[in-house]
A and B are shown apart, each in its own frame.
Chain A
């Protein structure tokens, strides 16, 4: 038999202490934390000295002070002389407006291009590939500026604007559309809409339970859609159309009335949507390709209708792959909307981190507030995403 050599007695004393993993861990951590605290302290001391020298003060008192500048486009009401806090809110509202519209447009465009990438048709496939390669290999900022200077700024003057049906108009001052003006009783239409949505949700639940119990399917999606659309439409007709439209009309040198967005907004939204649609297209494509061929074949051998195969078998599995990167693209849109400053659209960064910062000089508070907004947005979205991931995670047994 082989003699197993005896283990040497553990070393004692200094060497053992220094080589102990736990001791080392504590030492490393204390050293790192100490360095970090020293660095922060040094920064803070410098900042205090610098601010004393320039006669600046930190804090959030300036939020109540009137801001002495106008903002060219605001979603929520604002006028020169409102407080700085109002400016902050205006910036957030504008940022969110750009983000929401760009998210919807980019998703639709990305879905179409992603499906085109998978087309049986060679030409369509190639065109989609060219679209994706060209647009995602050029900088977004370049695209925004090119849309602004190359397209929306070169549009005709208001008198020669492009009009559609007398309702929409596009010229070098912006894009004009009718604005809804609610009249008495319009609130009831909204109530009907809410009731329709609630009814649709209840119907979907009932249909699902019945199908689980009896196997009888019920067309819950078209029925629900009919409820959501139908209820407010019926209420609208019954109440005699309590909604007027304020149409934009050419008056003098420009359009009056209706709603309008400036060219910078159009350039920003179009560029964001087009740029992000490339990434979404690739996400959609890889998601659908990630579902194994066997799933199609299994569905076919069970004699499941092709339209059901997509909806009940492919899509649920593909969505598990698609949703997480898709959401992070939505976050990217929100972050990239900060490039608005390059074309002069007053989003949060432009109106708050640039104009307000230069006007008030409150660098630290303003930077902190801006970062807090983006951090809050991104952290809450990632929390949602983690919850979703836990729900759809493969339940492997």
Chain B
């Protein structure tokens, strides 16, 4: 006689207490977990409310949107509301400086060209990304500087512009070719000429002729192309800030890599020179370097040679930035275990091959967050050129308050400029976080 099987049957779970789940539970855990925390929350909430309410009242609700002079604003609302018309009137100057109004399209075109040049880097199935990146660093500045500067050009200048133009056409042709067919532009050209089976020397000659033909066409176009000259004294605003920081950032990475390798070199003279350079430029403030270059560069160049103020500032920023970048890269190099070098040597790679293929990619990858935050630092540091009299974004904002119509209008332009800087820096830092996540191969625990 079998006993009926008695199996354990759990009662259904009761729902969690209402106070511990959902929004209420979250608030009890995160905002009101103890009397002290409750007090902090209340103080914090009041503070946040006060800040947001003050800014919204000032910038939106109490603000004046139409006026001819600052006096009208002051008569209307006093200091309790922002006076935006001054910023509107000056907005074009904030972005482009004193660049001639009818030529502003050139600045826009120059930056659009940069975007167009870099777009293939984000496209999938494009293989020659390294070459495209290098061409952007080497060729884009030539083309951009003619867009921004203009003026007459000699043979050498025209030749380099034509080369840069050819490079740009190559970037897009190769990007399209690789996306469509999966083959590089070179292979396509060779296939077209039925020369794929010919010997490599023939290949090289054919590709060279193709490039030369492209360059000749470009040269003919460039010769017909003329843009009026715009002196760098008229450059200013966000445009100038981007030019200086762009050049500084682009220059600093390769120069920093070279300096960092030099500082770790086994050759004592080279190590000494690199160390002294890095330590000297890192231990003094940027402003002293800028002053040094503005006052001493004319002294150290041959008698009668004049150097543009902007060029002096850019040289100073570049040297300063490369010293900082060198230390960042060195930090990355130090983090690479010895085994990597030894493994590379065991595979028969020489110093440069090991550095280029094994060490540097790893070192740069782990330093991406630091590199980007250094870039952000450089971008912020370009404001210092305003002290030596260049009209960058910050100095332009300050100039508004010295305009007779808008005398004393400082807070509003500074507010706008702060937003612009914040947008750029925050975007960069978020992009670096994103990049870090994507490139993380999970080797670090």
Contact = CB atoms under 8 A, between A and B. Distances in A.
**Are A and B genuine complex partners?**
yes
Contacts of A349: 285, 287-288, 291
Contacts of A28: 267, 270
Contact of A341 (B79, B387, B401, B422): B387
A263 B417 CA distance: 23
A49 B414 CA distance: 45
Interface string A26-50: 0011101100100000010011011
B431 interface: no
Interface size class of B (residues with CB under 8 A): 35 or more
B270 A121 contact: no
Contact of A141 (B288, B298, B383): B383
Interface centre among A49, A123, A363, A364 (most CB of B within 10 A): A123
Contact of B44 (A33, A127, A140): A127
Interface centre among A123, A139, A341 (most CB of B within 10 A): A139
B17 interface: no
Contacts of B273: 32-33, 36
Contacts of A47: 299-300
B381 A139 contact: yes
Given A134-B422, A374-B283, A123 B291 contact: no
Contacts of B283: 374-375, 377-379
B291 A353 contact: yes
A335 B284 contact: yes
Interface stretch (A61-69, A142-150, A156-164, A293-301): A142-150
Interface in B251-305: 266-270, 273, 279-280, 282-285, 287-288, 291-292, 295-296, 298-303
Given A28-B267, A338-B287, A354-B291, A150 B298 contact: no
Contacts of B44: 121, 123-124, 127
Contacts of B37: 120-121
B309 interface: no
A133 interface: yes
Contact of B425 (A137, A357, A363, A379): A137
A25 B411 CA distance: 58
B280 A371 contact: yes
A18 interface: no
Interface string A86-130: 000000000000000000000000000000000111111001000
A49 B384 contact: no
Interface string B53-90: 00000000000000000000000000100000000000
A50 B47 contact: no
Given A46-B299, A121-B30, A374-B285, A137 B269 contact: no
Contacts of B285: 335-336, 338-339, 349, 374
Contacts of A357: 291, 295
Contact of B422 (A124, A137, A336, A339): A137
Nearest to A377: B283
A142 B421 contact: yes
A161 to B, nearest CB: 18
B125 interface: no
Contacts of B394: 139, 141-142, 145
A50 B410 CA distance: 42
Contacts of A124: 40-41, 44
A57 interface: no
Given A28-B267, A120-B37, A146-B411, A43 B300 contact: yes
B53 to A, nearest CB: 15
A364 B299 contact: yes
B203 interface: no
A339 B299 contact: no
Contacts of B401: 149
Contact of B45 (A33, A123, A154, A336): A123
B58 to A, nearest CB: 12
A53 interface: yes
Contacts of A138: 380, 418, 421-422, 425
B429 interface: yes
Contact of A29 (B41, B267, B425): B267
B296 A137 contact: no
Given A32-B273, A145-B398, A50 B303 contact: yes
A234 interface: no
B386 interface: yes
A75 interface: no
A339 B381 CA distance: 11
Given A339-B287, A375-B283, A139 B380 contact: yes
Contacts of B383: 139-142
Contacts of B384: 141, 339
B353 to A, nearest CB: 15
B376 interface: yes
B426 interface: yes
A103 B79 CA distance: 33
B311 interface: no
A25 B80 CA distance: 69
Nearest to B414: A146
B48 interface: yes
Given A29-B268, A32-B270, A121-B44, A51 B299 contact: yes
Contacts of B47: 127
A304 interface: no
A16 interface: no
B31 interface: yes
B41 A123 contact: yes
A384 interface: no
A239 interface: no
Contact of A338 (B40, B48, B288, B426): B288
Given A363-B295, A374-B283, A145 B414 contact: yes
A188 interface: no
Contacts of A377: 283
A371 B284 contact: yes
Contact of B303 (A46, A149, A375): A46
A370 interface: yes
A367 interface: yes
Contacts of B425: 137-138
Interface centre among A43, A137, A377 (most CB of B within 10 A): A137
Contact of A137 (B40, B302, B376): B376
Contacts of A146: 410-411, 414, 418
A76 interface: no
A194 to B, nearest CB: 34
Contact of B299 (A32, A50, A127, A338): A50
B33 interface: yes
Interface of B: 30-31, 33, 37, 40-41, 44-45, 47-48, 79, 266-270, 273, 279-280, 282-285, 287-288, 291-292, 295-296, 298-303, 376, 380-381, 383-384, 386-387, 394, 398, 401, 410-411, 414, 417-418, 421-422, 425-426, 429
16 contacts: A32-B273, A121-B31, A123-B44, A123-B45, A124-B40, A138-B380, A139-B383, A140-B383, A141-B383, A149-B414, A150-B414, A363-B296, A363-B299, A374-B283, A374-B285, A378-B283
Closest 6 CB pairs of A and B: A378-B283, A137-B425, A122-B30, A29-B269, A139-B380, A149-B410
Given A338-B285, A338-B288, 14 more contacts: A29-B269, A30-B269, A32-B269, A32-B270, A33-B269, A47-B299, A122-B31, A127-B47, A138-B425, A335-B284, A338-B287, A339-B287, A364-B296, A371-B292
